[in-house]
Amino acid sequence: MDIGLNRRRSAPTPLPARTDDVDFVAIDFETANRKRESVCSVGLAIVSGGVVVERTSTLINPDSEFSPYNIAINGIRPEDVVDAPYFPEVWEILAPVLVDRTVVAHVATFDLGVLRQAVARYELPGISMRALCSWRLARKTWQTFPSFGLGYLSGQLGLPLDHHEAGSDAAAAAGVVLAAVRESGASSLADMCDRYGFTPGQLTPDSFVGVAAYGGDLRNVTGAEDADPDHPLYGRRICFTGAMFSMTRSEAAARIVEFGADFKSGVSAQTDMLVIGDADFVQFADGTQTGKMKKAAALREDGVEIEIMAERDFVALLQS
C-alpha cells in the first residue's frame, strides 16, 4: 500500500505466540482548523499477527483555512500542502484498507469524527468497520497512571513518538494496544474487550454507534441514601453525552451515586443535568449535537429546567 508521502516501514515487534491473531489498523488524523472535515494529514499503522508490519502517512490539502492554533499543534502550514492530494484521492486508497477491519485510534471519537465528516463533506461512499479507542484501553489497563495521552504513554511503554506527525501517532496508538494486550494476558483483541467489558464501535455507510467503555448496557442507578445532603450533586438526576476524558461512563455513574445523585441513561423532563464530555468538545463547538443534547434543548424551550454542563465543570463539582 502507498498513500503518498513519508512512507516507511516500522521494525517488527512481535508479541508472544498467543497473540498471533491480533490484527487491526491504527489511524490518526491531523486537521487544519477546528472543523473536523479539514483533514491535512493522515497516518496508518497496520498490525498483522501481533506485529506492526507497516507505517505510512501523507499530507492532505484540506481546501480550508489553517488556524494558528492547529499550526502550533501539528506544525503543518498552508505551504506544506500545496502539492498534496485532496481527501477524495486519499480516500480511494484508505477505504479498501479500512473496510471491514478493526480500526484503532487514540481518543477515537475525534479521529472517527474526522473520517465521517470528511467523507460527508465530499459526498464519498462510506464503509463498514469496527472501532476501538487506545486511550480507553490504556485507562483500563494501567489504572494507576496519572495520564493517558500518547506522550506520557509512549514514555512509559518505550514507544518512539514524534507527536502530531500522523504516522508516528498511529504507530504509537498501535503500540499502546499491543502493550495492553500483553499486559492483560488476552489472546486477542476480542478477548481483551470481553475481559474489560468494552463494546467496539460500529461504523456503516448509513450509521455510527460509538465506542462504549461500559459494555453498552448501563441502566438508571439511584443515588445512595446516606450521602451528604449538602453536596451540590445530592438529589440531582444526571445524564451524560459524548466521550469523556476524565473517566468512563460507568465510573461517572458510580461517582455521582456516591454523592446521592441519580444516574439517568436518557434525557427526560425528570433530568436535572446533562453533562457533555470534553473529548467531543470541538465537535460540539462546531454545532454538532447528540440526540440527548437536542432533546435537552427542546425541553428547555418548553420550560423544563435542565442544566447543561461541560465535563470539566462537572469534575470540579465532584471535587467540591
Q: Are 259 and 233 in contact (CB under 8 A)?
A: yes
Q: Are residues 52 and 169 in the same domain?
A: yes
* Cell numbers describing residue 112: 472517527
> Nearest CA to 40 among 3, 73, 6, 87?
87
> Nearest CA to 237 among 257, 212, 251, 218?
257
Q: Are 59 and 29 in contact (CB under 8 A)?
A: no
List the domain range (segments joined by +) for residue 308. 237-318
Q: Considering its fold, how many domains does the chain have in total?
A: 2
Residues 6+ apart with CB under 8 A from 193: 132, 199, 200
Q: Are residues 184 and 70 in the same domain?
A: yes
* Cell numbers describing residue 184: 492483560
Report the sign of the C-alpha dihedral through residues 62, 63, 68, 69, in that order. negative
Query: Does residue 226 form part of some domain?
Result: no
Which CATH number belongs to the domain containing residue 192 in this structure?
3.30.420.10
Q: Is 301 exposed, middle or buried (0-12, 13-18, 19+ CB in 10 A)?
A: exposed
Q: Are residues 194 and 260 in the same domain?
A: no
C-alpha–C-alpha distance, residues 7 and 219, integer Å: 46
Q: Are residues 165 and 66 in the same domain?
A: yes
Q: Does the pTM exceed 0.75?
A: no
Which CATH number belongs to the domain containing residue 262 in this structure?
3.40.50.10190
Q: Are residues 205 and 294 in the same domain?
A: no
Query: Does residue 10 form part of some domain?
Result: no
Task: Concatenate the DSSP letters of all residues of 195-210 into one string.
Answer: HHT-B-EEE-SS-EE-
> Nearest CA to 198 among 255, 257, 275, 135?
135
C-alpha–C-alpha distance, residues 287 and 99, integer Å: 29
Query: What pLDDT does 254 receive?
Result: 79
pLDDT tens, per residue, the chain with 320 residues:
444 444 333 333 433 333 446 899 999 999 999 898 999 999 999 998 888 888 999 999 999 999 999 999 899 999 999 999 999 999 999 999 999 999 999 888 889 889 999 999 999 999 999 999 898 899 889 989 888 888 899 999 999 988 889 999 999 999 999 999 999 888 888 888 878 877 788 888 876 665 554 444 456 778 777 788 888 899 999 998 877 777 777 778 878 888 889 999 889 999 999 998 876 555 555 566 778 888 998 998 999 989 988 888 888 888 76
Instruction: Characterize the bridge pairing of strands 237-241 and 262-263.
Output: parallel
Q: Are 75 and 26 in contact (CB under 8 A)?
A: no
Query: Does residue 4 form part of some domain?
Result: no
Query: Does residue 7 form part of some domain?
Result: no
Q: Are residues 62 and 185 in the same domain?
A: yes
Q: Are residues 33 and 81 in the same domain?
A: yes
- State the virtual CA torsion across 209, 210, 213, 214 in degrees, nearest 10: -40
